[in-house]
A = this chain, B = another copy of it.
Amino acid sequence: MQKQDIKLYVDSQFTSPYAMSVFVTLQEKGLDFDLLTVDLEANAQHAHDYAATSLTQRVPTLVHNGFALSESSAITEYLDEVFPKQAVYPKEIHARARARQVQAWIRSALMPIRVERNTQVIFYGKKLEPLSDAAKAAAGQLFLVGESLVPDDAENLFGDWSVADLDLALMINRLALHGDHVPEKLSRFAAQQWQRPAVQLWVNQARPAL
């Protein structure tokens, strides 16, 4: 196999759930990569040299043998195609479709949860105000979908682990790790996902003070 040169650009606080999704994918696949940080607080994603790498000036950005790619779900799909060992998407066509649905939904819905329980809650232990009615409604939607998709044993969504498990667990943990009410099966699911070694590697990154 050709020598692989893989770089992953993430936010310097290690709080982007999308950067985490790609980081965990690389770890699950056992790939060697260089982890580089972009200081979003200082708007470094718009600096000339980063803009030359990332067309859309966003994190995460993967650079694989000179090919630069942004948008986390596009990156994890790409990694699954180039490095199929330890697949991060289900092989069965309906399960794979559902995994993609979960990923796209997590990224485009549930906005009040994402705002009122930003990921500093998860990675810095930040405590925030009680949920607004809009966020409670979004939580209800999350629980409805979660209760339907998570199996009774609270293990992976689709048998083997997939990156959709991480994405859903992170969304649940915005609430669970803050101490908000979460249904028992879903809090067990999220807690189990959190124990994966690849997940813990991200959780335990050394973070700058807020």
Q: Is A53 close to B, CB under 8 A? A: no
Question: How many Å lie between the Cα of A74 and that of B97 in the bound state?
Answer: 6
The segment out of A76-84, A124-132, A169-177, A187-195 that lies at the interface is: A76-84
A residues adjacent to B (C-beta < 8 A):
55-58, 67, 69-75, 77-78, 81-82, 93-94, 96-98, 100-101, 103-105, 107-109, 141, 144-145, 148-149
Contact partners of A107 in chain B: CB under 8 A: 104, 107-108
When the two chains form their complex, are residues B101 and A74 in contact, meaning their CB atoms are under 8 A apart? yes
**Closest B residue, CB atoms, query A144:** B55
Question: How many Å lie between the Cα of A170 and that of B73 in the bound state?
Answer: 21
Partner of A71, one of B78, B105, B148: B105
When the two chains form their complex, are residues B141 and A104 in contact, meaning their CB atoms are under 8 A apart? no
Contact partners of A93 in chain B: CB under 8 A: 78, 81-82
**Given A56-B141, A69-B97, A108-B108: 19 more A-B contacts, CB < 8 Å:** A55-B149, A56-B105, A56-B109, A56-B145, A58-B109, A67-B97, A70-B101, A71-B104, A71-B105, A72-B104, A73-B100, A74-B103, A74-B104, A77-B97, A78-B100, A81-B96, A82-B93, A107-B107, A107-B108
Question: How many Å lie between the Cα of A109 and that of B93 in the bound state?
Answer: 28
When the two chains form their complex, are residues B105 and A70 in contact, meaning their CB atoms are under 8 A apart? yes
Question: How many Å lie between the Cα of A145 and that of B56 in the bound state?
Answer: 7
Interface of A, secondary structure class, is helix
**Closest B residue, CB atoms, query A93:** B81
Contact partners of A56 in chain B: CB under 8 A: 101, 105, 109, 141, 145
**Beyond A57-B141, A145-B56, is A94–B108 a contact (Cβ under 8 Å)?**
no
Tell me, rounded to whole Å, the shortest Cβ–Cβ distance linking A108 to chain B. 6
Residue in A72, A97, A100, A141 with the greatest tally of chain B CB atoms within 10 Å: A97
When the two chains form their complex, are residues B98 and A69 in contact, meaning their CB atoms are under 8 A apart? yes
Contact partners of A104 in chain B: CB under 8 A: 71-74, 104, 107
Question: How many Å lie between the Cα of A78 and that of B95 in the bound state?
Answer: 10
**Closest B residue, CB atoms, query A104:** B71
